[in-house]
Amino acid sequence: SQQGEEDPQALSIQEGENATMNCSYKTSINNLQWYRQNSGRGLVHLILIRSNEREKHSGRLRVTLDTSKKSSSLLITASRAADTASYFCATDARTNAGKSTFGDGTTLTVKP
Amino acid sequence: EAGVAQSPRYKIIEKRQSVAFWCNPISGHATLYWYQQILGQGPKLLIQFQNNGVVDDSQLPKDRFSAERLKGVDSTLKIQPAKLEDSAVYLCASSAYRGQGTEAFFGQGTRLTVV
């Protein structure tokens, strides 16, 4: 089974609104990464947060990590139509550094 | 810098036929990954190479799938014989090294349809 599970499976918002996606995982991790995948394309790395970090920012992206709850969230502020994509979290378990395990993703639709 | 190159982009084959995918990672990247992504799911790791050695192939169906990375650069993934359930996108990714906090760069994938 996948290590990370995203929630919700699908999210539809209006342009300008904020989008929040969540990721839960099962085992202890070294770090957690978020990726974006546009339809029919490969994945693009967005942000990495290490297990000793609680929050990280990159442009309009904000990621939080709560290791006690084994969960992470990705916030996209002031969304744009171009943000329409699937978003995946990937966890690097402590037991296998360098191997990322992906969840099944959240499909975000931003309506213009 | 050039990205991860994969070919072909699309492939349609009949079940029981064989197929091969090719990947050229980013120059200098020691680690190469092959993922299978079934529609509506996240990528599942099939095999991970460090240079030309296999690090992890625990989820590779070895009775029909094989992969090699000769000379630690390009890689090929082969399926023989293909089954209907092998229909998926096969993604190749590379990273500079294997270890904590390693960002992977993905190719655009090969969409395989088995009919």
* Candidate from A41, A92, A96 with C-beta closest to B108: A41
pLDDT of residue B10: 97
Mean pLDDT of chain B: 93
What is the rounded CA–CA span in Å between residue A34 and residue A23?
A: 9
Q: Is the dihedral of CA A68, A69, A70, A71 positive or negative?
A: negative
pLDDT digits (tens, 9 = 90+) for B45-84: 999 999 889 989 999 999 999 999 988 899 999 999 999 9
Q: How many helices (H) and strands (E) does chain B have?
A: 0, 11
- At A3, is the pLDDT very low, low, confident or very high (cuts 50, 70, 90)? low
- Chain A contact set for B109 (CB, 8 A): 41-42
pLDDT at B72: 83
Q: Which site among B9, B33, B41, B57 would you substitute to test the A interface, given the most A Cβ atoms closer than 10 Å to its Cβ?
A: B41
Tell whether the model's pLDDT for residue A110 goes beyond 90: yes
pLDDT in the model for residue B98: 61
Share in percent of chain A as helix, strand, coil (round to 5): 5, 60, 40
Dist CA A18 CA A108 (whole Å) = 11
- Tens digits of residue pLDDT in A19-74: 999 999 998 888 899 999 998 788 999 999 999 999 999 999 999 999 999 999 99
